[in-house]
Amino acid sequence: MRYFSTNRNSGTVSFREAVLLGQPADKGLYFPDDISPLAGGFFDQLGELTNAEIALEVIRPFISGEIDSTALARICEETVDFEIPLVPITERISALELFHGPTLAFKDVGARFMSRVLGYFSSEADKKTVVLVATSGDTGGAVAAGFHGVEGVDVVILYPKGRVSRLQELQLTTLGGNVTALELDGTFDDCQAIAKQALADDDITSRARLTSANSINVARWLPQQFYYFFALKQWDGPPPVISVPSGNFGNLAAGMLAHVRGLPVRHFIAACNANDVVPRFLQTDRYEPMPSVATLSNAMDVGSPSNFVRIMELFNGDIGRLRHALSAESVSDEQTADAISSLLAENGYALDPHGAVGYRCLAHYLAEHPDERGFFLETAHAAKFDSVNEIIGKPVDIPASVQHLLSKTKQSIEVGNDYAQVREILLSKI
Ligand SMILES: *Cc1c(COP(=O)(O)O)cnc(C)c1O
């Protein structure tokens, strides 16, 4: 498989190059140049395949021989070795629970896949590999956990000071070893802009392999298709409406890619918080990135969603066709909090703020489409967010798997909101 740049000013590359480079020199995003439908037989058999077997079939065409098949099967197996259940909540709404992995959020899937792929490729690399990741909260922990202890790879995390939850910060800052956390005095967008600057800095990239582990990396993005197929395996009835809590739009772009490859889906919903660039775009045809605003669903506080260009690419830039497949809605913090408390009271289900945005948008859509049913992606565990405790007036039980973090001490380096300081730290690592 070859990958081209969505800006079309860089040459095409192999899967390996796309993973190691992270981003093309023209600052576009890598995109596969051949998206073929999966064979009809695959969908008929879905019920008999294990999740690892499904993952392998879904990802294989994108790698076409660049990882030997035994190694790839093993990577898939390790990536999805936790459960991803579709849990009915009301008569017409289910939750696809993506929070049963090590850091309690969906980003574990992409991060686990990418770390193993990078480990495979860097064993043949000549230079040290540095993974640079900007995080709005969940990515950093998932990437840090995925890469912790991987030989020959250093991880540098950039996170916005004061804008991640306590549990998230502990996940980012307590691993040590090959993981360094930089606490930046700014927003997630600032972190992302600085990461992009570093990736385009020749002084750094000539001395080390610098790669991003953000969802812009194809090795994080492509495996996010997996769980849409796992959901379908558990789904009964006509194609579902799927609501995806969206920030940087990697998750939704992966679902829509799966759909273009044949996954039966009735309709997609981009469920957004107050950062509403995409809902506005679908209404007005004008795409106007803005500074992000802070909300309860902080991992979705993105004013300039990188992966939306991939969705446009899937639809060849045809907004009319896109509108047919996708609706978008923006919900306020009040509506989010209301969804959390009312669903807990009525159905005993504890939503996290991101899932709550997804649930709210889906419930709204289904109210206007009475014959349809669907599910939303529950992208993280409610216990990760202190705000949920405040909304429901009591603490959410912290899962046993992360209890040990509570007694650890944060280790981070504070940096200002400019590139120079980050650059110096990166240069000192290589
Ligand atoms: C990252 C994240 C999102 C947003 O996903 P995108 O792929 O960036 O749209 C939603 N919910 C949670 C919990 C996240 O961590």
What digits encode the pLDDT tens for the residues 367-403? 999 999 999 999 999 998 889 999 999 989 888 888 8
Decide: 355 in ligand 1 pocket, CB within 6 A.
Answer: no
* CA 127 to centroid of ligand 1, rounded, Å: 31
215 CA closest ligand 1 atom index: 7
Taking the CA of residue 246 as reference, the ligand 1 atom at the shortest distance is 9
- Verify whether residue 128 is a known catalytic residue: no
Q: Note the Cα 205 to chain centre separation in Å.
A: 25
pLDDT score of 303: 94
- The alpha carbon of residue 122 and the mean position of all alpha carbons in its chain are separated, in whole angstroms, by 23
Residue 193, token pair as written in the block: 């802009």
| Ligand 1 pocket test, candidate residues 191, 336, 379, most atoms within 8 A of CB | 379
The pLDDT, as a whole number, for residue 421 is 95
Between CA 428 and CA 422 the distance in angstroms is 10
DSSP 8-state assignment for residue 352:
-
**Bridge partners, residue 27, by sequence:** none
The closest-lying atom of ligand 1 relative to the alpha carbon of residue 253 is 7
Token pair of 12 as six digits: 């095409």
Instruction: Give the Å distance between the CA of 359 and the centre of ligand 1.
Output: 14
Atom of ligand 1 nearest to the CA of 352: 13
Angle (CA) 113-116-118 rounded to 5° is 105
Nearest atom of ligand 1 to the alpha carbon of 251? 7
Q: Looking at the CA of residue 380, tell me the nearest atom of ligand 1.
A: 13
What tokens were used for 114?
């990418």
The alpha carbon of 302 and the centre of ligand 1 are apart by a number of angstroms equal to 10
Of all protein residues, whose CA lies closest to atom 15 belonging to ligand 1? 138
The tokens for 139 are 């990515």
Q: What share of the chain is helix, strand, coil (3-state, %, to 5)?
A: 45, 15, 40
Tell me what the pLDDT averaged over the chain comes to: 93
Ligand 1 pocket check for 299: Cβ under 6 Å: yes
| Ligand 1 centroid, distance to 137 Cα (angstroms) | 9
Task: State how far the Cα of 175 lies from the Cα of 180, in Å rounded to an integer.
Answer: 9
Per-residue pLDDT, 150: 77
Q: How far apart, in whole angstroms, are the C-alpha atoms of residue 405 and residue 381?
A: 15
What's the Cα-to-Cα distance from 78 to each of 114, 115, 251, 315, rounded to whole Å? 11, 11, 20, 32
What is the DSSP code (8-state) at residue 287?
-
Distance of CA 289 to the CA centre of its chain: 19
- CA–CA dist 185, 192 (Å, integer): 13
pLDDT score for 390 = 93
**Pocket flag, ligand 1, residue 107 (CB < 6 Å):** yes
Distance CA 18, CA 13 (A): 6
Residue 302 pLDDT: 92
Task: Copy the structure tokens of residue 391.
Answer: 């909304």
Cα separations (Å) of 110 from 107, 171, 208, 372, 400? 5, 17, 23, 30, 23
- 388: helix, strand or coil: helix
Pocket test for ligand 1, best of 96, 104, 138, 276 (most atoms within 8 A of CB): 138
190 C-alpha to center of ligand 1: Å? 17
Ramachandran category for residue 348: left, alpha or beta (phi over 0 → left; psi -120 to 50 → alpha): left
In sequence order, the 6+-apart residues with CB closer than 8 A to the CB of 82 are: 100, 101, 102, 108
Tell which one of 277, 292, 354 to mutate to probe ligand 1, the residue whose CB is within 8 A of the most ligand atoms: 354
Q: What are phi and psi of 427, to 5 degrees?
A: -65, -35
Question: Is residue 98 within 6 Å of ligand 1 at its C-beta?
Answer: no
Residue 180's DSSP bridge partners are 156
Other Cβ atoms within 10 Å of 69 Cβ, number: 11
Query: What is residue 380's DSSP assignment?
Result: B
In the chain, which residues have pLDDT < 70?
Answer: 124-125
> 132: helix, coil or strand?
strand
As a whole number of angstroms, the distance between CA 247 and CA 151 comes to 32
Q: How far is the CA of 306 from the centre of ligand 1 (A)?
A: 12
250 lines ligand 1 (CB under 6 A): yes
- The reply to whether ligand 1 has any atom less than 6 angstroms from the CB of 373 is no
